[in-house]
Structure 1
Amino acid sequence: MQLKNTLLLTFFLSFYFGHSQDAFDRIYTETYQVLLSSNPKKALSNTDYLYTLAKNNPDKIKTRMLKAHILYQYGINNEAINALKQADSLALKGKDFATLAKIYGFMASLYRESEIYETGKIYLNKAVSISKKIKDESEMYRFQGNLSQELACYELLDSNYSKAILHLKKGIQLFEKAASVSDKNYQIAINDELIARNYLELKKGDSALYHYEKAEKELQESLSYDNPLKGFIYNGIANVYVEMKNYKKALSYYKKAEEVAEKSDYSALKQEVYNSFMEFYKKTDSKKYISYNEKNLKLTKADNDNKKVIADDLIRSIRKSHLQSQSEYQKHKLIIIGICLFTVFITVALYAYKRKQDHKKIKAFIKNSKVDTIEENETEIKKDASKEYMPEATEKAILEKIKEFESSLSYLNKTLSLNSVASELNINHRYLSYVINKHKSKDFAGYINELRIDYIVDRLKNDPAYLKYKISYLADQAGFASHSRFTITFKKITGVSPLAFITYLQNNNEVA
Structure 2
Amino acid sequence: MIKRILTLCLCFFTSFLFAQDIYSGLRNKYWGFEENDERAFVYINQYINKAKSEKNYSELFQAYKDAILFSKDFKIKYADSAVSAAKLSGKNDLIGDAYNSKGAIYYFNHRKFQFALNEYLTADEYLKDSKNELSKYQNIYHIGVVKSYLGYYDEALVIFKQCISYFETNAKRVLHVNTIYNNKKGYLNSLHQAIICYQALGKNNEVKRLLKLAEASTPKSKDFNLEYSYFKKSSGVADFTRKDYSQAINDFNASLPGLIKVNDFTWVSYVYFYKGKCFTNQGKLELGVENYKKVDSIFNKHQFILPELRSNYEELINYYKKQNSPENELYYTNQLLKVDSVISSDFKYLSTRIYKDHELLEAKENLEKTNSFGIALLIIFGVIIILLGLLVFYRNRKQKQIQQKYNELLVKIDHDKLPDQVVESLIFDENKNVKLDQNIVEKLLKDITAFEANEGFLERGLSLKKMAEYFKTNTSYLSQVINEYKGSNFSTYINVLRINYATQKIYHDKEWRKYSIEHVASASGFSNRQSFSNIFLEINGIRPVDFIKKRIKELESID
Do they superpose with TM above 0.5? yes
Letter of the 1:23 counterpart: Y
Alignment check: 8 A CA contact 1:186 1:219 kept? yes
Alignment check: 8 A CA contact 1:111 1:117 kept? yes
User: Between Structure 1 and Structure 2, whose CA radius of gyration is higher?
Assistant: 2
Q: Residue 505 of structure 1: CA displacement? A: 1.8
Q: Residue 501 of structure 1: CA displacement? A: 3.2
Give SS of 1:89's match: coil
Alignment check: 8 A CA contact 1:111 1:120 kept? yes
1:209 equivalenced with 2:249 (yes/no): yes
Q: Residue 227 of structure 1: CA displacement? A: 6.1
In the other structure, the counterpart of 1:504 is 550
Aligned-pair identity in percent equals 15
In the other structure, the counterpart of 1:411 is 457
Could you say if the C-alpha distance between residues 461 and 272 of structure 1 is closer, same or farther in structure 2, counting changes exceeding 3 Å? Answer: closer
In the other structure, the counterpart of 2:58 is 24
Give SS of 2:208's match: helix
Residues of 2 paired with 1:511 and 1:151: CA distance? 47
- Within 5 A, what are the aligned runs for 1:317-396? 357=398, 360=401, 364=405, 367=408, 391=435
Residues of 1 paired with 2:506 and 2:347: CA distance? 30
Give SS of 2:283's match: coil
2:129 to 76, 82, 89: 89
Residue by residue, what CA displacement relative to the aligned partner does 1:136-190 show, whole Å, maximum 9, x if unpaired? 3664554332112221232244344x246425523531442x46x6532222112
Q: Residue 240 of structure 1: CA displacement? A: 2.0
Q: Residue 425 of structure 1: CA displacement? A: 4.9
In the other structure, the counterpart of 1:239 is 277
1:152 to 162, 182, 195: 195
Alignment check: 8 A CA contact 1:413 1:479 kept? yes
Q: Residue 106 of structure 1: CA displacement? A: 2.5
Residue by residue, what CA displacement relative to the aligned partner does 1:418-456 show, whole Å, maximum 9, x if unpaired? 234324556531343467679989864454234212211
Residues of 1 paired with 2:269 and 2:116: CA distance? 28
Residues of 2 paired with 1:182 and 1:228: CA distance? 21
Q: Residue 287 of structure 1: CA displacement? A: 0.7
1:59 equivalenced with 2:90 (yes/no): no
Could you say if the C-alpha distance between residues 297 and 38 of structure 1 is closer, same or farther in structure 2, counting changes exceeding 3 Å? Answer: farther
In the other structure, the counterpart of 2:329 is 289
Unaligned runs of 5+ in 2: 1-34, 36-43, 174-179, 350-368, 417-423, 427-431
Alignment check: 8 A CA contact 2:276 2:292 kept? yes
Give SS of 1:183's match: helix
In the other structure, the counterpart of 2:143 is 107
Alignment check: 8 A CA contact 1:152 1:167 kept? no
Give SS of 2:169's match: coil
In the other structure, the counterpart of 2:502 is 456
Alignment check: 8 A CA contact 1:144 1:174 kept? no
Alignment check: 8 A CA contact 1:242 1:250 kept? yes
Alignment check: 8 A CA contact 1:471 1:498 kept? yes
Could you say if the C-alpha distance between residues 109 and 359 of structure 1 is closer, same or farther in structure 2, counting changes exceeding 3 Å? Answer: farther
Taking structure 2 as the reference length, the TM-score comes to 0.60
Q: Residue 363 of structure 1: CA displacement? A: 5.0
Give SS of 1:105's match: helix
Residues of 1 paired with 2:241 and 2:75: CA distance? 36
Residues of 1 paired with 2:115 and 2:507: CA distance? 32
Q: Residue 502 of structure 1: CA displacement? A: 1.5
Residues of 1 paired with 2:310 and 2:223: CA distance? 30
Higher RCO by CA contacts (8 Å cutoff, separation 6 or greater): 1
Residues of 1 paired with 2:200 and 2:496: CA distance? 19
Alignment check: 8 A CA contact 2:103 2:120 kept? yes
Could you say if the C-alpha distance between residues 426 and 131 of structure 1 is closer, same or farther in structure 2, counting changes exceeding 3 Å? Answer: same
Letter of the 1:122 counterpart: V
In the other structure, the counterpart of 2:533 is 491
Could you say if the C-alpha distance between residues 145 and 494 of structure 1 is closer, same or farther in structure 2, counting changes exceeding 3 Å? Answer: same
Residues of 2 paired with 1:417 and 1:252: CA distance? 30
Alignment check: 8 A CA contact 1:239 1:250 kept? yes
Q: Residue 493 of structure 1: CA displacement? A: 0.9
Residues of 2 paired with 1:401 and 1:303: CA distance? 40
Taking structure 1 as the reference length, the TM-score comes to 0.64
Could you say if the C-alpha distance between residues 349 and 503 of structure 1 is closer, same or farther in structure 2, counting changes exceeding 3 Å? Answer: farther
Alignment check: 8 A CA contact 1:152 1:163 kept? no
Could you say if the C-alpha distance between residues 486 and 273 of structure 1 is closer, same or farther in structure 2, counting changes exceeding 3 Å? Answer: closer
Residues of 1 paired with 2:59 and 2:347: CA distance? 28
Decide which moves more: 111-120 or 29-38.
29-38
Q: Residue 204 of structure 1: CA displacement? A: 3.9
In the other structure, the counterpart of 1:267 is 303
Letter of the 1:133 counterpart: T
Residue by residue, what CA displacement relative to the aligned partner does 1:261-307 show, whole Å, maximum 9, x if unpaired? 66xx3332699989635632432222112223435555776899999
Decide which moves more: 236-245 or 471-480.
471-480
2:223 to 183, 186, 189: 183
Give SS of 2:129's match: helix
What do you get for the CA RMSD once the two structures are aligned?
5.6
In the other structure, the counterpart of 2:353 is none
Alignment check: 8 A CA contact 1:199 1:208 kept? yes
Letter of the 2:278 counterpart: V
- Within 5 A, what are the aligned runs for 1:110-259? 110-114=146-150, 119-136=155-172, 139=181, 141-160=184-203, 162-163=204-205, 165-166=207-208, 169-170=211-212, 172-176=214-218, 178=219, 182-200=222-240, 203-216=243-256, 224=262, 229-254=267-292
Residues of 2 paired with 1:52 and 1:440: CA distance? 72
In the other structure, the counterpart of 1:319 is none
Give SS of 2:535's match: helix
Unaligned runs of 5+ in 1: 1-10, 12-17, 310-328, 375-379, 382-389
Letter of the 1:432 counterpart: L
Could you say if the C-alpha distance between residues 270 and 357 of structure 1 is closer, same or farther in structure 2, counting changes exceeding 3 Å? Answer: closer
Residues of 1 paired with 2:184 and 2:392: CA distance? 43
Residues of 2 paired with 1:73 and 1:466: CA distance? 25
Q: Residue 457 of structure 1: CA displacement? A: 0.9
